[in-house]
Structure 1
């Protein structure tokens, strides 16, 4: 992770934002470690996303001032419910531009997973187990970034205790949780987790910054009396021989996943874009007709009469020559969800712009 030198802040808005970020991270840990928490993943992810966002805001406040707030074309700050709109986490990542690929993919994983979890009424215990490694990396990356930006004085490790929640008993609740894993919503979330992991290059997937793999090492009774009862060891700290042994053992108990080469994986047609956006917003907001307006207004792809169909905004859209149509990616979906959530765009705005006399395109960078 590439960062600047530690930034000294003693008082003022940047310090206040930073302290709020740390408080959010500590609350996330408290939620995760409470044995009776029934919304562990949802609460932990939500608070950690807030912690990351505020950490970036503190950095930007200390380095560029108020430039991390959105502005209208007239130069005034954009507002929602009377409050200035600041960059969301995905924009902060892009504007900062110095995070390693593994750290970025870990953060983006939780941004997208949060949107999926918060709109579903499910028993999330099975999700908790599935993403334990990514949750650990989400926190460790945060602390590393926090210390790199603002110094060791803000480290969290002295405030943390690793909560051990083991059980040899299968309670009725655990059995019901396993049954609920068959529910469609849970299957959808698990499919997203598997698809996301399989989409990553090997060097990102195995990086501890994306997901920390821990081994619990019980100790026999003739060890030193001051030793911990259990050591947690990262796989990356094992010798090559021990890692090979671990791989041989786990190969016996895990399903083998085979990656098959495919085309246009993860790309969406307009109908798929609308369905995904509506699901994440929790309501049916846009149709393919609305989508065609938005695409034209922002000049994401050329019109049907254009000579070169490949002249798309490749950040969001690509031309599929085999099928002679256009496909859209996750960045386009993220942009639409963010724009509608923050009231930067409305259907009425799109309708007025679509049927205006000028029909001039808007600069999408003004909305990002």
Structure 2
């Protein structure tokens, strides 16, 4: 489809410009708001892509209307459908692409009022960002044809080779702002809520491995090649798995459920092992997770609504498991607080809640 000048082409051009600007923001080495800028511009790019599609097929009808059938007006302009509404009205996106978009819509809302300067978030969500971009171009081509492909305008961003040591990573994590911890907890919780098929799909999150090409390849070959996992033969997949073992320094990880996660009784045991004069019971632990609101009550509408830094919902077993960070927090809290178990229970019954930030070192 070759568009002539008009509203559809104008909207589509602005969509493509927003996507290219998103990539430019992401690939600038000194950008301190990389994730926020990329996500914001890609949400705009996707929204305008849908608006261009709707304008070409249903005309000027992608605006909200009041009950009296009049258009909603904001600052003198009709209010166009937001991305969530566009997705719902379109109804043809795959579940994996829809989940990737839902992730970024919610993450955009999460970071909108936060100032994040750390690169941990950039690294953490790189796979989802790459999928968001790939999905955008695929949908662009599906809507308007291969003439509007933008892949030739893009290149891979250069990477510094140094890999941070475990000690550096640990120091970085300890210095994370509360805003950043909140965002990273959201990402972990969202991923944990997905089923395996969606989480492992390339449309939700691209998983890449970068390997220097040292064989006698044609000198005209690209230095970097991208290969889709689902396009590989079984023989190639087997070879990749062997290579993956080499990259991991010959450490083979066996999948297991809830590795490193703790049951309530294990939390109590670990906390008491690290306390000197004081001890807690299972009942005290229950009061504490309620007071600090790190997980919802039993039977809550959204059991996944936990503070993922400390607690996660285990869907197969319909219960909760706890992180070592929760143990460390409780040890610090119990050692420093003057509140007795009875006083804690009294606060809970009175409907009071304690703020984690007031007790974090």
Q: TM-score range by the shorter chain?
A: 0.5 to 0.7
Shift of 1:11: 2.5
Distance 1:256 1:133 in 2: 23
Per-residue CA distance 1:186-223 (angstroms, 9 max, x = gap): 22211111111111111111111111111212111643
Q: For residue 244 of structure 1, what is the aligned residue in structure 2?
A: 241
Per-residue CA distance 1:248-302 (angstroms, 9 max, x = gap): 5657579966299x97677189xx9xxxxxxxxxxxxxxxxxxxxxxxxxxxxxx
Shift of 1:168: 2.0
Shift of 1:181: 5.4
The question of whether the paired residues in 2 share the 8 Å contact of 1:18 and 1:58 is answered with: yes
Q: For residue 258 of structure 1, what is the aligned residue in structure 2?
A: 258
* Residues 264 and 99 of structure 1: CA distance in aligned 2, closer, same or farther (over 3 Å): farther
Q: For residue 11 of structure 1, what is the aligned residue in structure 2?
A: 5
Q: 2:101 aligns with which of 104, 107, 130?
A: 107
* Residues 212 and 28 of structure 1: CA distance in aligned 2, closer, same or farther (over 3 Å): same
Distance 1:255 1:41 in 2: 30
Is 1:160 the equivalent of 2:157?
no
The question of whether the paired residues in 2 share the 8 Å contact of 1:235 and 1:243 is answered with: no
Distance 2:41 2:230 in 1: 28
* Residues 181 and 42 of structure 1: CA distance in aligned 2, closer, same or farther (over 3 Å): farther
TM-score normalised to the size of structure 2? Answer: 0.65
* Residues 175 and 130 of structure 1: CA distance in aligned 2, closer, same or farther (over 3 Å): closer
Q: How do residues 133-172 of structure 1 correspond to structure 2 at under 5 angstroms?
A: 133-168=127-162
Shift of 1:127: 0.2
Q: For residue 267 of structure 1, what is the aligned residue in structure 2?
A: 302
The question of whether the paired residues in 2 share the 8 Å contact of 1:123 and 1:180 is answered with: no
Distance 1:223 1:8 in 2: 38
Q: For residue 198 of structure 2, what is the aligned residue in structure 1?
A: 204
Structure number, greater radius of gyration: 2
Distance 1:53 1:208 in 2: 21
The question of whether the paired residues in 1 share the 8 Å contact of 2:2 and 2:147 is answered with: no
* Residues 193 and 152 of structure 1: CA distance in aligned 2, closer, same or farther (over 3 Å): same
* Residues 177 and 228 of structure 1: CA distance in aligned 2, closer, same or farther (over 3 Å): farther
Q: For residue 35 of structure 1, what is the aligned residue in structure 2?
A: 29
The question of whether the paired residues in 2 share the 8 Å contact of 1:125 and 1:177 is answered with: no
* Residues 127 and 117 of structure 1: CA distance in aligned 2, closer, same or farther (over 3 Å): same
Distance 1:197 1:97 in 2: 23
Distance 1:223 1:265 in 2: 58
Could you say what secondary structure the match of 2:211 adopts?
Answer: strand
TM-score normalised to the size of structure 1? Answer: 0.64
Q: For residue 350 of structure 2, what is the aligned residue in structure 1?
A: none
Shift of 1:8: 5.0
Aligned CA RMSD, in angstroms, stands at 3.1
> Gaps spanning 5+ residues in structure 2: where?
262-295, 306-361
